[in-house]
Structure 1
């Protein structure tokens, strides 16, 4: 009775736990922690979406059980979005399922298609559910160092040749959380051709596809001819429309895979609250200037972060997309590792970030910084950072107390 249950034992230690504990303790002491750790949007949901929710929730009939795979109007709205944005035609009856956010959709898809012992190819670093959804379903992981070029695809082929049993599926996620890597259509064409040759399912996560900064909208893998034969793609309204707590996302693609997901969901839930689904349809069908405004806000915050942190002494590559910066741990602190450095930032600079190790072993040496505070707070964080880096010993040029932290 004292041993953990089988699936719980399969979960690795939660890397963010100690950082979160330190953050909570600092706030309890009255510290003004500037939290750039969790990717939790701080902006309000656009008013016309909220208005539609309020209008719909006033109808008692909408309080009943909903449709597990999503109400028809919502699935039609998602299909219309794909045609408008990517030029991809979807049958809303057979190729679209509404999910409780992309995270739930991914985890339920893992349950639907995975048998114990199956092998899944997962980029590393990556968003944790890409790995843990399959881990909880009994699969084994084969990690591939994240990338968007020929080297990444060579890793895929090598893994398929040298892994027994042969891998079942390949996870792709661009724009990437946490690295902000983006992929172009040529990469997707090569990935689809390789996956077909190797007999792999592609599971693509494009939750950040509308948060981009270089003027080139990220593509969908489903734009590649023939990709629909082997692919399911996951999207979310959380970041695009500032609706994270609404928990609304989608899985679209291959009919057989979507049918498996829909069947699994039918045993697990009755779908999101109907007024939320109606409001989500209003988001997809309504004016899209709000999406441009949200994108512009993150763009401005990104530029503020890069400029102010750079002046403070921490050079961070500007991300081309997402609401995150993937920042190398400054050279004087490299030996500490990402977790100890993140703890040090809380203690000495009152800044919270996410240690890169939490996204996979290849995330070591980096931290993820979320653009979830306004520009005033970002500049305040930069001032705190500058003072921290200027303290005797903290920059690594002298004998410094951070070595004590490293051994704790």
Structure 2
């Protein structure tokens, strides 16, 4: 059984490597074409950044595969033997927490290079070492408290219920919904400063936009994203009464008022079409499939791994193999998501104008160095948003040539 798991993971890694190589070749060819959407300088930079990120992905995939082989080969058994506790629940919690901590430390060099090497080199990352360190400490502290409580509850569910995967799914779904509700109010302020939007004219226009869409919000806020990154973004955070409009300070600085309202109109389009609820429902289906799968793993697999079939080992396998299951769902989820993005674009253009939305999308692509071309297979497997060229075409805008 363990060889089947290894073979499936190797296929998963092989496909990702193949697609990354295809993307590198595709971007290199497109780089020689006349620039579109972006300025000539940014077009070249975007191509270089895309190639660099794909090369980084190649190294990451190989490293992750080696780690997986190590965990399956001896790591899971090693962690189980390392933790000697008589209390079964406590043993499972400590085993899982130790596994996650070790995996985090083993992957940390890649995160550091991504932040201080790759993103710094291309002018995105603005974070300093002190902020990065404190972010890691705060995240670790939250994980220790809330992660420990979650894994303790999951271990108890596994110990006391025959069909634990059903109750585990319901509990996990409830936790996910709860996190979405408290995220903008309690979690975001731990890492970023949220301040009420000071521009009264913009705030008034946003509130009118929300009222028109029938969305009640707990406020419009600016987030100091620039202390970590120069990319532009905005989002509606939270569920129910905790919903907030959050604008990155980088977005406010770069977009005109009409462009910003068009971007928010796009996000409101997702609300109007109930895309958020649909995403939650589809994610719940995928989560249920995962729990059904990992809740019924055969004893032979645990025998081959030289571990007992208990909560800690099951949760580690869940964490190791869930990316593979998610990858299988991605083409379908991506297809639905791209369709939803087109509809949200249509709504956003109605809130302001097609010209305002197209102008905003072009600025976002230019500032974020988003290369306008991608290999079709990469789009099918990874893209939740349609390529910008297709979005502009759908909005009826002509192909935009970059400035020389």
Q: Is this a same-fold pair by TM over 0.5?
A: no
From the CA coordinates, give the structure whose radius of gyration is larger: 2
What TM-score do you get using the length of structure 1 for normalisation?
A: 0.25
What TM-score do you get using the length of structure 2 for normalisation?
A: 0.26
Structure (1 or 2) with the greater strand fraction? 1
Structure (1 or 2) with the greater helix fraction? 2
